[in-house]
Each structure stands twice: as C-alpha cells, then as structure tokens.
Amino acid sequence: AKADYDSRRWEMPPNEYARGFTTRRDGTRHVAKKLQGPWAAGIDTTKAEILIEGRLDPPVEKDRIDKKDDPPLPQTVTPLLWSDQDGDGYEPEDAIVTRITDPAYGTGQVIVVANGSFVLNFPLVNHEHRKLAGKLIDECAPGANVAFIESKNGEPTVLDKEPEAAEGAGLFDVARVWPLNAIVIHLTILGIIYCLAKFPIFGRAREIPGEASADFGKHVTALGQLMGRSKDRAYAEQRIMQYQQQGKRKSGKSHLKGA
C-alpha cells in the first residue's frame, strides 16, 4: 500500500494551479504545531496531530502559468487555520484551511482543507481533530446544500445528470476488490484441481483384472489387520506362536505317515 501511495504521488505534477488553490506535491512531511487562526480558538494545539506533506496553498498570480486558459484568481481567500512553525506569523505556505469566495459562487463559499488532514476517519480519533471538524460543520448554514468534492487521478468527474443506481455486484466486480480478488483466484485454482481429480476419465472401456480369491497372502494380511485392531500385542504374539506350533505338529505327523 505504501509503494502504491508513493507511486501515485509521483504521478502528480509538482505544482498545479486550480484557481481555488495551488497543489504542491513536494512539501516537507511534518506535523503541524502552533496552530493559529480563527479556527484555532479552543483547540489544544499540543494534542493535535495534523500531518502535512502535500499542500493546497492559496493561489497567487505567478501560479497562473497559462494566462489565457487558466481561470483568474478568486476574489477573496481567507485563511482560517494555519501552522506558525517559525513564529513569524501567517504565510500562504502554512495554510491548512482557507475560505474562498467569489462573485461567481453567489452566496456560496469553498472551504479548502489541506489533504484531509483532520476530517478523515483515522485522524478523527483525535479529540482536537473532532473539534476542528465541528468548526467545518459550523461553516455550513442550516438547510444549505453541502457538497464534498473528491477525485482520484485528474480532475473530478462532472456529470450532466445523476448516474443510475448500480446493480448488484457480480463475480467479476468482486474479483477487482482487494483482498477478495486474491481469495477468489486461489479458490478458483483449487476448484479446478479438485474437478480434475474427481471427474471421470473418458475413453474406451476396458476390463480390470479381477482379484484372485485363492491368494493365501491376502488371508495373512487380513488376519494381521484384524489382530492390529485389537491393539493387544501379547495376544497377537500368542496366537502366532500357537499357529506355528500347530503347523509343526501337523507337519511332523504327515512325515510319520509317509514313513
């Protein structure tokens, strides 16, 4: 998982302007301390563990590389939470949460949170992070429409209408999900091996030679197995000695009769 994460990070451009923010891929990995800003009120910054690596910095004019195609900067970018690592006050690269407003948004606003640093499942275990998440909720007016934008590689997908409800997951859909895909592959291989072992072998019929019923060796083997089931070694040895003694006496009588 770590290798896949690093690989996906290196697929990102080092810097990219996105109007509301500029992505910085190669930020120094650190835990943000000395939190400042309106959202820092009531937060014990010594207990917060906001991990920062890649950043979403407030955009500046020089980030607009292509002046023709890149959209203009938003009208207002207000920092709500930042990390004063060096003690020199607010700097754009220290921003963790910003509010973006623009006439194009009407009465709406965009809240930018750097890399989901305190709103994802695992970071929310921290009590101070839950306080910050509560401040994000407070920014949403009661009854207002709220949208969370998430994307993978590239820009978020924009659809003209709501997608139809997905049908039940089929076998091939399950085979794409880890770790079910590895389990399904191994079960499939074992199933094929089992079928090959149990299925009949087709071909021309042939006669199997029958077993000889007069084979004395099989009688000895069967008798040995029967004695073995008794689990009484002394009894088995006694019966064998008795058999041998009777065989000797019978053998001697036959010789005498022949004489």
Sequential DSSP letters for the chain: -HHHHHHHHHHS-SEEE-SS-EEETTPPPEEE-SEESGGGTT--TTT--EEESSEEEPP-GGG-SSTTTSPPPPSEEEEEEEE-SSSS---GGGEEEEEEE-GGGTT--EEEEGGGTTTSTTGGGSHHHHHHHHHHHHTS-TT--------SSSSPP--SSPPPPPPPP-HHHHTTSTTHHHHHHHHHHHHHHHHHHHS---S---PPPPPPTT-HHHHHHHHHHHHHHHT-HHHHHHHHHHHHHHHHHHHHHHHHHH-
Domain that holds residue 7: 2-138
- Say how many domains are in the chain: 3
Model confidence pLDDT, tens digit, residues 29-58: 888 878 889 999 999 988 988 888 888 888
Q: Is residue 166 part of a domain?
A: no
Q: Is residue 152 part of a domain?
A: no
Does 133 lie in the same domain as 63? yes
Q: Quick check: 103 pLDDT over 60?
A: yes
Q: Quick check: 124 pLDDT over 80?
A: yes
Does 252 lie in the same domain as 124? no
Task: Give the pLDDT mean for 64-84.
Answer: 81
